[in-house]
Amino acid sequence: MKQSAGILLIRYVHDTPEFFLVHPGGPFFARKDAGWWTVPKGELMPGEEPLAAAIREFEEETGYQPVGPFTPLTPVVQKGGKQVLCWAATGAPDPEKITSNTFEIEWPPKSGKRKTYPEVDKAGWFTYDAAKLLLNQKQVAFLDEALQLHRAT
């Protein structure tokens, strides 16, 4: 089973929790919004510790290095069968200042032309209700668990 690891940042603005989410870049996601946002995450390298992968991926996709403590959340399995491991943490990166690594693909398909796209094309802070609408449906469980954990502290 393929695995991805990510970090869900939470902050409070006037006692209201907000979650940091990212939108995948590239032509496939250009016109997709609700249901396509995600926690910053990516696949583990062979032999890589999951939390180390989550921190690396967060930094690669946003240019921001998250700071612990990191609280493990219950993993989810997305529709395609990929397991997503996630940790909750607090932080406050500016979504307007994210910098993402890039990837190159042939676009349009079979055109012979190569184009470069950012892995993440936008990021934002969202209230629970907004995040629930934007987030990949299987990842909504991360929001619920992170809220329960932060309310318990």
Residue pLDDT, tens place only, 42-70: 999 999 999 999 999 999 999 999 998 99
Q: Determine the Cα–Cα distance for residues 133 and 17; give it in Å rounded to an integer.
A: 15
- The pLDDT score that the predictor gives to residue 149 is 83
**Cβ partners under 8 Å of residue 128, min gap 6:** 17, 19, 143, 147
- The pLDDT score that the predictor gives to residue 1 is 84
Q: Determine the Cα–Cα distance for residues 12 and 73; give it in Å rounded to an integer.
A: 19
Q: Determine the Cα–Cα distance for residues 120 and 97; give it in Å rounded to an integer.
A: 12
Provide φ and ψ at 64, rounded to 5°.
-115, 130
Mean pLDDT along residues 1-26: 95
Nearest to 13 by CA among 114, 124, 98: 124
Eight-class DSSP state of 124 = E
R_g of the chain computed on alpha carbons: 15
Q: Is 90 exceeded by the pLDDT of residue 7? A: yes
Tell me the per-residue pLDDT of 118-138, one tens digit each, with 9 for 90 and over: 999 999 999 999 999 999 999
Per-residue confidence at 153, pLDDT binned at 50, 70, 90?
low
- The pLDDT score that the predictor gives to residue 100 is 96
Q: Determine the Cα–Cα distance for residues 5 and 55; give it in Å rounded to an integer.
A: 8
Specify which residues 37 forms β-bridges with: 135
Q: Is the CATH number 2.70.98.60 carried by domain 3-152? A: no
Q: Is 80 exceeded by the pLDDT of residue 20? A: yes
Report domain extents, the chain: 3-152
More confident residue, 15 or 124: 124
Residue bearing tokens 């329960």: 148
Cα dihedral 70, 7, 137, 19 sign: positive
Tell me the per-residue pLDDT of 94-118, one tens digit each, with 9 for 90 and over: 999 999 999 999 999 999 999 999 9
Contact of 106 with 114, CB cutoff 8 Å? yes
